[in-house]
């Protein structure tokens, strides 16, 4: 599949992740986690992948942890019917494992990563205030831009992850779930985690999803001039659109006196 249709599919997935419902139960209220976790996930991921053997470690970890996280996404997000999503994980994993390199296998792998992102962002949202997570999301986008176009760290990291091979189970390697691969386009985990987190930070998810999708479509035109590109900046458009005219999550307004 060509670059344009592949990118469009992933943009639609980012839009869907913003729309994904979620009301994770509050477990704690750590400002530090809200501010640091999004950026730390990006910086540590790049640093580990660049170290000798780091890409192999992340690849093996993703092959095992991704389906487990995807299976609990419904419970982490507080869905009323979490079981159907969990039951979909084994066949998706089998498809990604048995049909590597095909569009069906890649689509299954992308779906598993998306589910894992829904779960991890729900856990983070349960531990940190929304306002500080919002700031953390903005810092994540800034760090992504710097690492892609400033220090040029993301390109070599993606190449290292692409070259890494998952551990064998019998004679067949486990699915490659260390990065988002669909058709001719590759994205990182955080390119899906950012819109999944955005959906938990805004009240107007439809507006946020629409703005994110439109911004991502326009942003993708940069691929005509350079590659790779930072894929997280479109969520800032969604953050503005989804927050305008609405109080932030977790904030309660006073009722006017009768």
Domain count, the chain: 1
CA–CA dist 28, 32 (Å, integer): 11
237 within some domain: yes
* Domain around 90: 3-243
165 within some domain: yes
Neighbours of 163 (CB within 10 A): 10
256 within some domain: no
96 within some domain: yes
16 within some domain: yes
Handedness of CA 1, 96, 109, 90 (dihedral sign): positive
Q: Helix or strand or coil: residue 167?
A: coil
182 within some domain: yes
53 within some domain: yes
164 within some domain: yes
Both tokens of 30, joined, read: 């750590």
**Average pLDDT of the residues in 74-89:** 93
197/43: higher pLDDT: 197
Both tokens of 141, joined, read: 């986008």
CA–CA dist 186, 247 (Å, integer): 35
Give tens-digit pLDDT for 7-60: 999 999 999 999 998 887 776 666 777 777 777 787 788 778 777 788 889 999
Backbone angles phi, psi at 187, to 5 degrees: -130, 165
Least confident of 141-145, 206-210, 233-237, 241-245: 241-245
Q: Helix or strand or coil: residue 143?
A: helix
Can you give the length of the chain in residues? 258
Q: Helix or strand or coil: residue 203?
A: coil
- The answer, yes or no, to whether residue 155 has pLDDT greater than 90, is no
């Amino acid at each position: 599949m060509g670059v344009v249709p592949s990118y469009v599919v992933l943009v639609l997935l980012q839009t869907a992740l913003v729309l994904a419902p979620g009301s994770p139960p509050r477990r704690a209220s750590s400002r530090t986690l809200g501010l640091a976790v999004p950026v730390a996930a990006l910086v540590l991921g790049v640093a580990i992948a660049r170290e000798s053997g780091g890409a192999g470690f992340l690849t093996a970890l993703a092959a095992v942890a991704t389906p487990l996280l995807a299976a609990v996404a419904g419970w982490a997000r507080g869905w009323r019917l979490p079981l159907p999503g969990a039951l979909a994980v084994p066949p998706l994993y089998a498809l990604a494992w048995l049909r590597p390199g095909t569009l069906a296998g890649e689509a299954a792998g992308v779906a598993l990563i998306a589910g894992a992102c829904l779960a991890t962002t729900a856990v983070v949202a349960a531990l940190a205030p929304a306002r500080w997570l919002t700031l953390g999301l903005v810092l994540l986008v800034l760090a992504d831009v710097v690492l892609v176009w400033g220090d040029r760290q993301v390109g070599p990291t993606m190449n290292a992850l692409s070259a890494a091979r998952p551990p064998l189970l019998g004679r067949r390697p486990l699915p490659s779930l260390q990065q988002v691969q669909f058709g001719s386009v590759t994205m990182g985990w955080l390119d899906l985690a950012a819109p999944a987190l955005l959906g938990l930070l805004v009240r107007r998810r439809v507006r946020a999803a629409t703005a994110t999708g439109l911004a991502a479509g326009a942003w993708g035109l940069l691929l005509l001039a350079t590659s790779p590109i930072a894929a997280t900046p479109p969520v800032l458009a969604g953050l503005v659109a989804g927050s305008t005219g609405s109080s932030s999550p977790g904030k309660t307004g006073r009722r006017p006196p009768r």
